[in-house]
Structure 1
């Protein structure tokens, strides 16, 4: 079984790379387990001061692999609860990693992949990157509800109600990401930023991050994320006619056919 998450350390910087490029780095159960381990490894290595999270190939991540969920036959809220809780626990494990983290984003950064990027302290994106939480378009919703704390209520409302994607430039304007750079400068720009941070002693970096995360958590971030898990279970188990149709098409024609049907529903209203 191939590694779905790569890990390397160069000087004070650890790089964690999502590695399912043929699936746009969709997060399946194997990747989730490996990513948990790599996050813990980076956290415990005192030689590492900054952690970069990246995706191999042409995308950062298209989100959680819904093929897993369809094959498992998950339906009820009780069945969804442990699955969604583990997804949230992974994202919040990254959020709480006691060192500065930088997401390096190219191509799609969607759904659960967007949540992983938002859980990082900084995001550097190529000018071709696209961000969004399109889950509502197939009867689901964001599991780790971080977006309201990052870009505010009104734009979060728009993105989560429509499922629309936004460009890197728009994401930068909204404060979702830190920098937009040409695609051929993405890696060097992220590395340069990491090395700007790395000279600071590790205890100071840890404490500074602790202060920042505590400020957000004092605003209720963790409580909101925890409360959303129950709502997400209800959403995923709603079994609306549209969800049933999506699943039926996926079973007979494959996931691409189901996604095409979903997209056509939304295009028809433009």
Structure 2
């Protein structure tokens, strides 16, 4: 598995080695923010590895030292769209990618380093297993700039009260806390991510592919019998409306993005919320 691939024009890179496919979001200079190119390339990569019977385990990761800071809000088509109907189309593509990963017919492992936020966190929640470094940070900060979660998976993984706190505060939390909450399987030293993910994949891949596929299908159906897919779709419809809500705070955030850059806007946003709880 390669977690520190060189920067290229490819939004997503795929490598296959000894029955393990590694799909890497390849925008390290943008903290692997998810844009239209990533969505399209990731969807194609998932189709390829799902059809390849030589692949038994799929690893999802980010190039460089971060998994993903979420959707590319500085260049978001949702922000630029004129109405909720257009926003709904863009958000539907984002949600469809997450659910394609969720339903992939092979076990998936998220290899998480650094920031894992918003849409990046949704991507990780859609994976079957998660290995994170000690410095990894998770969170759903969308509410802080007038947005909301696109794919509402967290309540099915975590429960009502804690999900509410994460969504309403926008606070991030470290890997050890994610481990305590059951959102990751293992926390490893920063320099041991690749070897730890490989060791986990090596434990999975000896199982025949049909057995892996039907075992995963049973697990997915257990969650979906709880209404997971209906919940995701219902939230998607609300998310399109939420993203087009007009607020003074949202307008100021994006004014700062345009005038001073995303970094300045994020500092302004987080200063409004003070210290973490």
Q: Per the shorter chain, which TM-score range?
A: over 0.9
Do the aligned residues in 2 keep the contact of 1:75 with 1:236 (CA within 8 Å)?
Answer: no
* Counterpart-to-counterpart distance in 1, 2:276 and 2:165: 16
- Which range moves more in the overlay, 225-234 or 62-71? 62-71
1:131 aligns with 2:156: no
Question: 2-side partners of 1:75 and 1:6: how far apart?
Answer: 33
Q: Which residue of 1 aligns with 2:172?
A: 165
Kept after mapping to 2: 8 A contact 1:70/1:247: no
Structure 1 gaps of 5+ residues are none
- The answer to whether residue 270 in structure 2 is matched with residue 263 in structure 1 is yes
Matches within 5 A, 1:22-171: 22-69=29-76, 73-171=80-178
Residue 11 of structure 2 corresponds to 4
Partner of 1:241: 248
Question: Cα offset for 1:144?
Answer: 0.3
SS at match of 2:184: coil
CA distance, structure 2, for counterparts of residue 264 and residue 34 of structure 1: 35
Q: TM-score, normalised by structure 2?
A: 0.95
| 3-state SS of paired residue (1:266) | coil
Instruction: Confirm or deny that 1:221 pairs with 2:228.
Output: yes
- Most deviating of 71-80 and 119-128: 71-80
Equivalent residues of 1:131, 1:167 under 8 A apart: yes
State the distance in 2 between where 1:75 and 1:176 align.
36
Q: Distance in 2 between matches of 1:184 and 1:195?
A: 19
Distance apart, 1:68 and its partner CA: 2.0
The SS at the match of 1:180 is strand
In structure 2, how many angstroms separate the alpha carbons of the residues matched to 1:30 and 1:147? 25
| Contact 2:14–2:21 (Cα < 8 Å) also in 1 | yes
Aligned counterpart, 2:4: none
Residue 78 of structure 2 contacts residue 87 of structure 2 at CA under 8 Å; is this kept in 1? Answer: no
How many equivalent pairs are there? 270
